[in-house]
């Protein structure tokens, strides 16, 4: 009987082989995974049959159209398909890539960082995500760039950045407020909050990029903008240079253009300095708690400029 050639759908690398020669497989069953452009692509058996030979090994670089596995078509028993290697067809088991995605999503939440949240609560302050959740309608928040991390790969491990700099210190997106009262587009808003638990709410490369996008969308859609501005301004510790001498950051110009175009509401507590304060100053309405401190230069910058030591 003629064999079926299972070919690679694209150029890539063999990431995982889930069957062995002699295994019985069902049509549609995953038999290996090809990795390409940092994405995993499952390759499935085209029909029921027996794996005659596997022509590649894990880690091999492969071309599009290259034969990976040969299968002899035929009837397979319900108990034997995939049993030799533990591979199965559709099941309740979660895919590995989906599990990694869910873990990465979890690491952006307050629940993943109990120590940071506790330190915040000890000062009587709330987290960025808690503030946004209370402001917007339940289930309406669509976040932009939640997987962003601080641009510090040259001096910190990737896992450290993922766990400790979620969203690069800026939580932002689109949502609705009081949609039950103002239906349709009338309730849509853009909202962003610096996260003081991440590098003191400073402005990093990636959160600048997110602001650029959010401010641009707010201009295009004429959306009111709510900004929780607490934070320490420009971040000196980012090491992954953008290569455009900083000229690719449009956030300040975009936010200034929003002033007079849409309602801007600024909210702050604690420290709000430098770039954070510049954005706050553009707002039509500023709401500040009693323990707020706002200025264009903080104690460190004032002392560095030779103007003496000051305390907030």
Q: Which domains does the chain have, with CATH numbers?
A: 4-93 (2.40.50.100), 100-304 (3.90.226.10)
Write down the pLDDT at residue 207.
93
Mean pLDDT computed over every residue of the chain: 90
CB 227 within 8 A of CB 265: yes
Write down the pLDDT at residue 87.
44
Write down the pLDDT at residue 37.
85
The CA angle 83-66-89, to the nearest 5 degrees, is 25
**pLDDT by residue (tens digit) across 72-98?**
999 887 665 554 444 444 445 667 788
Under DSSP, is residue 153 helix (H, G, I), strand (E, B) or coil?
coil
More confident residue, 279 or 3: 279
Write down the pLDDT at residue 79.
61
Write down the pLDDT at residue 53.
96
**Residue 283: is its pLDDT beyond 50?**
yes
Q: Using CA of residue 87, residue 92, residue 96, residue 97, what is the dihedral sign?
A: positive
Confidence of residue 145 (pLDDT cuts 50, 70, 90): very high
Q: At 16, which helix (H) or strand (E)?
A: strand 12-17
DSSP states along 155-171:
TS-HHHHHHHSGGGGEE
Q: Using CA of residue 38, residue 170, residue 128, residue 113, what is the dihedral sign?
A: positive
Rounded to the nearest 10°, the torsion over CA 95, 100, 104, 105 is 10
Write down the pLDDT at residue 245.
60
The candidate with the shortest Cα–Cα distance to 146, out of 167, 128, 170, is 167
| Both tokens assigned to 124 | 């009587």
Write down the pLDDT at residue 99.
85
> Rounded to an integer, what distance in angstroms lies between the CA atom of residue 235 and that of residue 255?
19
5 HSE (CA, 13 A, CB side): 7
Strand-pairing partners, residue 212, are none
**pLDDT by residue (tens digit) across 175-226?**
999 999 998 899 999 999 999 999 999 999 999 999 999 999 999 999 999 9
Write down the pLDDT at residue 186.
94
**Residue 244: is its pLDDT beyond 70?**
no
**Residue 55: is its pLDDT beyond 60?**
yes
Under DSSP, is residue 272 helix (H, G, I), strand (E, B) or coil?
strand
């Amino acid at each position: 009987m003629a064999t079926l050639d299972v070919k690679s759908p694209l150029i890539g690398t063999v990431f995982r082989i889930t069957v062995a020669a002699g295994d019985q497989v069902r049509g549609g069953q995953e038999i290996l995974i090809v990795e390409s452009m940092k994405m995993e692509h499952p390759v499935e058996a085209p029909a029921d049959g027996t794996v005659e030979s596997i022509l590649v090994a894990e880690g091999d670089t492969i071309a599009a159209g290259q034969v990976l596995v040969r299968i002899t078509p035929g009837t397979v028993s319900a108990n034997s398909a995939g049993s030799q290697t533990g591979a199965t067809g559709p099941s309740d088991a979660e895919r590995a890539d989906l599990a990694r995605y869910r873990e990465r999503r979890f690491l952006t939440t307050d629940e993943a960082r109990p120590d940071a949240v506790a330190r915040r609560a000890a000062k009587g302050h709330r987290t960025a995500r808690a503030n946004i959740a209370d402001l917007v309608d339940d289930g309406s928040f669509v976040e932009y760039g939640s997987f962003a991390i601080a641009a510090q790969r040259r001096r910190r491990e990737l896992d450290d950045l993922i766990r400790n700099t979620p969203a690069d210190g800026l939580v932002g997106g689109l949502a609705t407020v009081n949609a039950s009262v103002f239906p349709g587009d009338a309730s849509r808003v853009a909202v962003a909050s610096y996260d003081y638990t991440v590098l003191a709410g400073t402005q990093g490369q990636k959160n600048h990029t997110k602001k650029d996008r959010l401010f641009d969308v707010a201009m295009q859609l004429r959306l009111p903008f709510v900004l929780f501005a607490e934070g320490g301004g420009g971040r000196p510790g980012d090491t992954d240079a953008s290569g455009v001498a900083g000229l690719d950051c449009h956030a300040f110009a975009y936010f200034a253009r929003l002033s007079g175009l849409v309602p801007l509401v600024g909210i702050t507590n604690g420290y709000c300095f430098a770039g954070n304060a510049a954005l706050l100053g553009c707002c039509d309405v500023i709401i500040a708690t009693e323990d707020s401190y706002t200025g264009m230069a903080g104690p460190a910058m004032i002392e560095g400029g030779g103007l003496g030591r000051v305390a907030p």
